Amino acid sequence: MVKALTVNLNERSYPILFGSGLGSEVRANVDALIAAGRRVVVLTDRNVAGQHGRALQAMFAAAPVLVLQAGEETKSLADFGRVLDFLAAQHLDRTGALFAVGGGVIGDLGGFAAASYLRGIEFYQVPTTLLAMVDSSVGGKTGINLAAGKNLAGAFHQPRGVYIDTGLLATLPAREFAAGMAEVIKYGLLGDAELFAQLERAPLTVASPGLAAVVRRCCELKARIVEADERELAKEGGRALLNLGHTFAHAIEQSAGYGTYLHGEAVAVGLSAAGRLSQEIGFISARETARIDAVLTAHALPIRLRAPLAVSALMTAVARDKKVRAGLPRFVVLQKIGAAVTRQDGITPAMVEACFRAAGAVDSL
């Protein structure tokens, strides 16, 4: 049974379809686009092409497919150029449509290419990882990494539709599933205390009967936040709340080298650090910080760095974060489990450095 959730953004509104075995829904859309005289192309990675080759064939038939390397390193200027060249080689005009089939890397890269090619063509998200299903496929943030920092080039470009087939998670490696759980835990922390408590009671696994409902709940939470603050312009709170743990995480990814940590692994360390920062400014207790760490650990996620990183390099990366305003970084902190706020004043560099040290960073390597 196919269920739908709408992201309400006026003329940019779109459905998120949930179900198991959504290939027929994708194929029906592809056939309708082609019947209307529109060209369809597909972007995916080698892991998806290897695991789901038959499903890709069933969904897209003879549509041209570009297969890229899997991994965070693909969110690069070089691969961005490859995608644009592919779109041009397939003679797409402004009625063309790109289907991004993969995890967050493919979705972010494909969406940015769709936003840029001919100043914007339509694209659809078919996420194949838990992280992409609950977070990156929804909301229209697209982009690539630069040497200077994570997601520093990109565009807001909403998809025309998102197809979330939780059946695809059966082939997802355990490490990738755990990485996706970091974003699920994030949603519990920032806006749903009962979801967090549910994860405390029993760790979520790919075999959990409630998995599909949890995925949908995360999408609902994100959709409502995006509807209220699509372009992250709110002075306080708003869409920036979705970055809970991410200022720390992006600094870790950039400093360690893209690909060293899965995005969700860096987010997990960042969530733990955000908990400590929230405790340091007097918002939550040591007990609540311990609860956060316990849930992350129960879902096979790290709360400390695997290898030391220099505090100075991490702080340099923080200073380049997209959320910096007037030269000062903004952090998302927890007033309590289930409620988050943005905070800029009262957070000193020494506090942030202390959080990095608690995660295993060192003053010098």
Instruction: Give me the half-sphere count of Cα atoms (radius 13 Å) on the Cβ side of residue 303.
Output: 18
CA dist 152 and 141 (Å) reads: 11
Start-to-end CA span in the chain (Å): 54
> What Cα–Cα distance (Å) separates residue 316 from each residue in 148, 161, 308, 362?
10, 37, 16, 14
Instruction: Give me the half-sphere count of Cα atoms (radius 13 Å) on the Cβ side of residue 157.
Output: 24
Helix (H, G, I), strand (E, B) or coil at 139: coil
CA dist 254 and 272 (Å) reads: 18
Judge contact between 102 and 83, C-beta under 8 A: no
CA dist 16 and 136 (Å) reads: 13
Closest CA to 264 of 361, 162, 184, 171: 184
| Structure-token pair, residue 206 | 């790919």
Q: Which residues are annotated as catalytic?
A: 119, 141, 183, 222, 232, 239, 243, 246, 250, 263
CA dist 114 and 110 (Å) reads: 6
CA dist 295 and 278 (Å) reads: 17
Judge contact between 49 and 107, C-beta under 8 A: no
| Structure-token pair, residue 165 | 């087939």
Which neighbouring-strand residues pair with 4?
Answer: 17
Provide φ and ψ at 272, rounded to 5°.
-60, -45
Closest CA to 72 of 125, 146, 138: 146
| Structure-token pair, residue 132 | 């992409």
